[in-house]
Amino acid sequence: MARKIEHIYNLRLDVASQVNLDKPISFSFDGRVYSGYEGDSLASALIANGVRIVGRSFKYHRPRGIMSAGVEEANAIVQIGEEPYRQPNMLATKVELYDGLVARSVNAWPNAAFDLFAPLGFAKPFFVAGFYYKVFKWPSWQFWSPMVRRLAGLGTVPKQPDPDDYDYHHAHTEILIAGAGVAGLLAALKHGKSGRKVLLVEQDKDLGGALLFEKCEIDGMSALDKVAEMEAALEAMDNVTIVKRATVTGYYDDNFITISERLRNHLPPHVDAHIPRERFWHLRAGQVIVATGAIERPLVFANNDRPGIMLASALRQYANRFGVTAGKRIFIATNNDDAYRTALDMHAVGAHIVGIADVRPNPQGDLVNAVRALGITVYDGHAVVNTSGARGLKSISISKIENNVLDERQRAFNCDVLGTSGGWSPVVHLHSQSGGKLRFNEEVQAFVPREYVQQNVCIGAANGVFELVDIYSEVSEKAARLQKLKTEPIQAFWDLPKNIKKIKNSKRWVDLLHDVTASDVALAARENYISVEHFKRYTTTGMAMDQGKTSNVNALAILGQETDRKIQQVGTTKFRPPYSPVSMGAMAARSTGALFSPLRNLPMHVWHVENGAKFEDYGGWNRPAYYARSGENEEQAIEREIHNVRHHVGILDYSPLGKVMVQGPDAAAFLDYFYCNNVSNLKLNRARYGLMLNEDGNVIDDGVFTRLADDEFMATTTSGGAARFAASMEEWRQCEWPHMDVVITNITTGWGCISLQGPKARDVLLKLDIDIDLSGEEFSHMSMRSGKLAGVDVKILRTSFTGELGFEIYMPRSYANAMWELIVNAGQEFKLAPFGLEALMVMRTEKGFIHIGVDTDSSTIPDDVGFGAPARKKVVDYIGKRSLFRPASLRSDREVLVGLKAVGDAPLRAGSIILAKGHKKAPAPMDGRVTSSYSSPTMGHPVALGVLKNGQSRMGEIIKIYDLDGVREAEVVAPCFYDPEGKRLNG
Amino acid sequence: MMNIKCPYCGNRSEAEYSFGGPAHLVRPIPAAEVSDEEWVDYLFMLDNVKGVSAERWCHSHGCGQWFNMLRNTVTHEILTIYKMGESLESAKGGENGA
């Protein structure tokens, strides 16, 4: 990585600052090693080292330099760190320097200083507003998309998993204060003293906001000392919590707030690795005080994107806070007083102020006159019109403006830095997110909060109150000793007059990050994209990762000029969260990997592990798919398990089966609403298979319901559907039939279930101490008995999903594992072996038993799976009944369940399409599809289920099935392949 | 994320609740006497209200109870919350307002 330490320039100033000159540290940018100091931001260190080009623009790959000192940065986007810690799309202005930091520019190749894509700048005509919809039409966007994405990249995400931890934090506070500038600090002191619980959140590492770099005196002390005094007072209050390096990113309903806190981004990756890298807060606040300050706007003129052109306030921020300057010869362009502070401060640190172009005719504020008194020339009534310098600013030219007409004569000045100020935009993002309205304040030429709809208030610069003395009188209970300045009002100035053709056709950047120019805005207006939301999307203004922090207001004003509207008539787009980017890791927090969607383990989980189970996620349960024995592959294991069930006996952990108890005098009548089969006439201790429908008449679940008493039923559901089914019953009970006396209890996870399947199932149970008569005469198929098995109270349901003799043994979950082991031991002499879900799926398919959600979909009605007759005959009302009499439900050509016997040895592919009659190849209309398909070791040929139009009347027909590999043939047969008479399960 | 006052538990975050569609929807019965049009109206022709909407909600991750809510779908303002079975009119005069 390292080549040599570069010392081309030294732009470090010999002034007091907040970097620690005793702690030099080294870092690299685009592969070169540089030095900086503790306390530097990456941006201040790059500036000190004379690195002017830090990135390439999004579309044209024009060289770009650092343009701000804060969260509004639109050019200096970098990626930090190396695999697997790399973080793409970080702002160099907000990255705190640490020893060994590795940074790279993101939109350039091989690097920002020498970018092979730079010639794209000449392709400007192809990248105009709406170019996505205009240029890449032929042959198709899909053809161009990969190339465009590569060129307009914003960093590379790491390929390896993120080794860092991230956390959630759920919190409440009475008062949240977003921003710890002077307004936020004063508010925190005021509310802190009231004893209420206050949370003060600051995005920077230090409190103070603009006081960190403004040269002013408060109460006779320096701004920094004043901040320290206020911080100490707040620290002494137990009810005040201060969180630094945290950004309030979102403001949602009822004062629900998200905060992105960066705990470890300022440290090398391996330091304090036990601490989460970031923490994402979910906060509910009683009141929100928005003290988020304001962001300076750049001015719009020709070639206003060159490295060296910066926001005026950023210049003094770098000088006063970090002790660096971006250059030695500085020109300033402004339409307001604030930029004169930069002139004063930069003059004080020894930079040469070449001149100031002020569009105002004859400004007379105190700051202006203080600058004049230093002998600095103020070109009033002038604007910067153009700049030069291919790899960084070399000179600028200015012209006089009168009555919105630009003088053709220009004056040129050599300078390496141009500070521009077009006024200040209050950071109203959080206010707007909260639903609050904005109005355009002509006095300060900015959008300010108008109407609050939640418990919140904006104060200080976020409220359009910019001067320190005014903020004190707005927020503080007691006045401070402060200098009061006479000010000259700002003059609106959004774009250069267009009376000179060369200027009119020039590249005047509005959105630096998304490369949108004033002519793109004009083009969008000509093409009638004048609604602000349409305009935004068409030009992509404000849609980049900075969300238009510096560009939106300029773009709206220029759109207004182009369409003869005032800026307030144009309006703003809705500000949406997040205010600044939040990493995906922080949002995911601990919900990654195994914790993303935690699986539930079975009562016998450890036994399954110890006995070679291969697990799969089945509806949120971690269940054995099969049990592998040594030397077996998956297919062989499944085949062995099936053979064992068919000839001996298998044991299955069936605990996830949905189990719902329905009790009460109205239990039978209530359950009748939930099945398309009759419930009330079910005899005691008998069980019945039933289908549950929704109101659309569609089959949503199935299961077996058993009458345990006159007023007590147990209903089973699919394992994935248990919670949904119980909740649905509860909804109907509370909302539709509150008069019914019934209690619904979901006992799915409370009860374990062991399923014994196979001809020897009865013999195994008889080996144990059991007080239930298991004989076929006494205990027939589809009935239930309660009793004691090995001393445990159990309920045994005689039923089968395999087609063999089967018993399901229900007991409290805590007994299930011990019972399992007893049964396994007792079954040894009968060759009992466990089987998994895959074997079960093959066996139920051989038997023609449907699997809800596999053989059914959201259009399946009872008729389609052979239950049409009982459903229609059922007299009493039930959910979905009326829908079964709609014309669509009564059609004779519905797709119904059939068995499919493939021609050939290979099983059909589930999901493949049945071609309409008479068609031999795809594409063709379809008559249905294959829903379940397996090799059947029992039958010796592949078995499949499917749905087929008019299936019932097409038995014996050979149909064509389109598969990815071609067209297969299959014979339509009855769904049940194995033991159609049911002798085995009734045995 | 809204803050919703369950009539049984008090203020809880929206994350604890489930939305259950329009309140006071009348289920036409008996099936044999309901026309296709009536049934389609009940199933599909729901008012997609922009503004004040009567809805039913369940405190599904709390007490599990269903209740009704009068809510502005534009501003998310909750005007009143009332128990299942109570009419909208009686709720408006009642004291369960959020």
Q: How confident is the model at residue A60 (pLDDT cuts 50, 70, 90)?
A: confident
Hey, which residues 54-93 in chain B have their CB within 8 Å of chain A?
56, 58, 60, 64-66, 75-76, 84-85
Beta strands A600-601 and A621-627, pairing class = parallel
- The residue of A172, A253, A872 whose CB has the most chain B CBs within 10 angstroms, and thus the best one to mutate to test that interface, is A253
Average pLDDT over every residue of A226-245? 98
User: Residue A114 belongs to a domain with what CATH number?
Assistant: 3.10.20.440
Buried b (16+ CB within 10 A) or exposed e, A666-705: bbbbbbbbbbbbbbeebeebebbebbbbeebbbbbbbbbb
Both structure tokens of A829 = 């002499």
> What is the crossing angle of helices A468-475 and A182-193, to 10°?
20
Same domain (yes/no): A561, A612: no
* B49 interface with A at CB cutoff 8 Å: no
Shortest distance between the Cα of A887 and any Cα of chain B, in A, equals: 9
What residues does each domain of chain B span? 3-93
What mean pLDDT, rounded, does chain A reach? 94
Set of chain A residues whose Cβ sits within 8 Å of the Cβ of B42:
695
Which residue matches tokens 């200098």? A483
Q: Please say whether the beta carbons of A364 and A337 come within 8 A.
A: no
Same-domain check for residues A172 and A237? yes
CB neighbourhood size of A821 (10 A): 12
Same domain? For A17 and A121 the reply is yes
Same domain? For A403 and A324 the reply is: yes
Chain A nearest-CA distance from B84, in A, is 6
Contacts of A727 in chain B (CB under 8 A): 58, 60
B44: which 2 tokens? Answer: 């599909």
Residues A327 and A357 in one domain: yes
CB A59 within 8 A of CB A127: yes
Looking at the fold, whether A684 and A780 belong to one and the same domain comes out as no
pLDDT digits over A465-475, tens only?
999 999 999 99
What H or E segment, with its residue span, contains residue A961? strand A958-963
Q: Structure tokens of B72?
A: 């502005």
Distance CA A837, CA A851 (A): 12
Task: Answer whether A629's CB lies under 8 Å from A622's CB.
Answer: no
Q: How confident is the model at residue A3 (pLDDT cuts 50, 70, 90)?
A: very low
Q: Among A85-89, A639-643, B37-41, which is the least confidently predicted range?
A: A85-89
Per-residue pLDDT of B44-92, as tens digits, reads 999 999 999 999 999 999 999 999 999 999 999 999 999 998 988 887 7
Separation in Å, CA of A666 to nearest CA in chain B: 19
CA dihedral angle for residue B34, residue B36, residue B41, residue B45, rounded to 10 degrees: 160
Closest residue of chain A to B60, computed from CA coordinates: A727
Which DSSP letter does residue A919 get? Answer: -
Which three-class secondary structure state does DSSP give residue A319?
A: helix
Beta strands A699-709 and A687-693 are antiparallel
Return the percentage of chain A with pLDDT > 70, whole number: 96
User: ipTM of this predicted complex?
Assistant: 0.95
Using one digit for the tens of pLDDT, what is the confidence trace for A114-148? 777 666 666 666 666 776 667 666 677 777 777 66
DSSP symbols for A784-806: EEEEEETTEEEEEEE--SSSS-E
Same domain? A321 vs A374: yes
- Please determine, for residue B98, whether its predicted confidence score (pLDDT) is greater than 60: no
CA separation for the pair A334, A690 (Å, rounded) = 79
Chain B: closest CA distance from residue A620 (Å)? 18
Whether the upstream peptide bond of residue A361 has omega within 30° of 0, thus cis, is: no
Domain coverage including residue A59: 1-162
CATH number at A677 reads: 3.30.70.1400
Q: Does B21 touch chain A (CB under 8 A)?
A: no
Instruction: Report pLDDT for A126.
Output: 64
Residues whose CB is less than 8 angstroms from the CB of residue A1 and which lie 6 or more positions away in sequence, other chains included? A28, A31, A33, A102
Asked whether the beta carbons of residue B43 and residue A883 sit closer than 8 angstroms, the reply is: yes
Q: How confident is the model at residue B95, as a pLDDT?
A: 47
Sequence letter at residue A186: L
Per-residue confidence (pLDDT) for residue A156, from 0 to 100: 80
Q: What is the pLDDT of residue B80?
A: 95
Distances from the Cα of A97 to the Cα of A9, A24, A49, A92, A813, angstroms: 19, 11, 14, 9, 56
What is the pLDDT confidence band of residue A6, given thresholds at 50, 70 and 90? very low
Lowest-confidence segment of A598-602, A926-930, A939-943, B89-93 by average pLDDT:
B89-93
The answer, for B51 touching chain A at a CB cutoff of 8 Å, is no
Q: Which of A162, A191, A207 is the last residue of a domain?
A: A162
Strands A913-915 and A926-934, by their bridges, are antiparallel
| Cα–Cα distance, A419 to A316 (Å, whole number) | 10
Beta carbons within 8 Å of B15's beta carbon, 6+ residues apart: B1, B61
Domain co-membership, A142 together with A236:
no
Q: What is the pLDDT of residue A922?
A: 87
Q: Give the model's confidence band at A706: pLDDT under 50 very low, under 70 low, under 90 confident, else very high.
A: very high
Predicted confidence at residue A669, as pLDDT, reads 97
Cβ partners under 8 Å of residue A222, min gap 6:
none
Same domain, A413 and A435: no
Q: Between the CA of residue A776 and those of A650, A762, A823, A901, what are the distances in Å? A: 19, 10, 20, 33
Residue with tokens 């998309």: A145
**Token pair belonging to B24:** 């006071």
Asked if residue A579 is part of any domain, the answer here is no
d(CA A660, CA A655): 13
Q: What is the CA radius of gyration of chain B?
A: 15
Angle at A182 between CA A178 and CA A188, to 5 degrees: 55
> Residue A453 and residue B75: Cβ atoms within 8 Å?
yes
Q: Which residues contact A12 (CB under 8 A, 6 or more apart)?
A: A48, A323, A324
Predicted local confidence at residue A5, as pLDDT: 37
In whole angstroms, give the CA distance from residue A305 to residue A63: 8
A332 and A389 inside one domain: yes
Are A282 and A198 contained in the same domain? Answer: yes
Instruction: Describe the crossing of helices A518-526 and A532-539 by its angle, rounded to 10 degrees.
Output: 120
Q: Which residue has the tokens 């050599």?
A: A414
CA B30 – CA A877 distance, rounded (Å): 7
Burial class (CB in 10 A: 0-12, 13-18, 19+), A333: buried
**Contact yes or no for B82/B93 (Cβ under 8 A):** no
Nearest chain A Cα distance for residue B37, angstroms: 10
Query: Can you read off the two tokens belonging to residue A95?
Result: 């990255």
pLDDT at A825 over 80: yes
What DSSP state is assigned to residue A574?
A: P
| pLDDT tens for each residue of A201-230 | 999 999 999 999 999 999 999 999 999 999
Phi first, then psi, for residue A651 (nearest 5°) are -125, 135
Residue A7 has pLDDT above 50, yes or no: no
* pLDDT for residue A573: 87
Say if A485 falls within a structural domain: no
The CATH number, out of the four listed (3.30.2270.10, 3.40.50.300, 3.40.109.10, 3.40.309.10), of the domain defined by the range B3-93: 3.30.2270.10
pTM: 0.90
Q: Measured between CA atoms, how close is A667 to chain B, in angstroms?
A: 20
A19-28, A138-147, A513-522, A882-891 — which is least confidently predicted? Answer: A138-147
The candidate with the shortest Cα–Cα distance to A706, out of A697, A716, A693, is A716
Classify residue A324 by its DSSP letter: B
Q: How far apart are CA A610 and CA A606, in angstroms?
A: 6
Is A708 among the domain residues? yes
- Structural tokens at position A352: 């040469």
Interface of A with B (CB under 8 A): 252-256, 282, 284, 435, 453, 695-696, 727, 730-731, 734-736, 738, 877, 881-883, 885-887
Pull the structure tokens for residue A834: 């466990």
Section A227-237 average pLDDT: 98
Task: Name the domain boundary from A162, A177, A198.
Answer: A162
Name beta bridge partners: A691: A702
Q: In this predicted structure, what is the pLDDT of residue A753?
A: 98
Count of helix runs (H) and strand runs (E) in chain B: 2, 6
Closest-CA residue of chain A to B31: A882
Distance CA A616, CA A625 (A): 6
How far apart, in whole angstroms, are the C-alpha atoms of residue A881 and residue A367? 82
Residues A499 and A357 reside in one and the same domain:
yes
Q: Which residue of B has its CA nearest to A697?
A: B43
- DSSP secondary structure code for residue A199 in this structure: E
Q: Is residue A567 within a helix (H) or strand (E), and if so which, with residue range? A: helix A567-570
Give burial (CB, 10 Å; 0-12/13-18/19+) of A415.
Answer: buried
DSSP string, A693-757: E-TTS-EEEEEEEEEEETTEEEEEE-GGGHHHHHHHHHHHHHHT-TTS--EEEE-TTTEEEEEEE
How many domains is chain A built from?
7
pLDDT classification of B96: cutoffs 50, 70, 90: very low
CB contact under 8 A, A253 and B31: no
- Which chain B residues have a beta carbon less than 8 Å from that of A282? 1
| Contact (CB, 8 A) for A293 and A326 | no
Structure tokens at A389: 């310098």
Looking at residue B91, what is its pLDDT? Answer: 76
In Å, how far are A259, A645, A652, A771 from A649, measured between CA atoms? 58, 5, 10, 21
* Dist CA A666 CA A801 (whole Å): 30
Q: Quickly count: other Cβ atoms within 10 Å of residue A72's Cβ.
A: 25
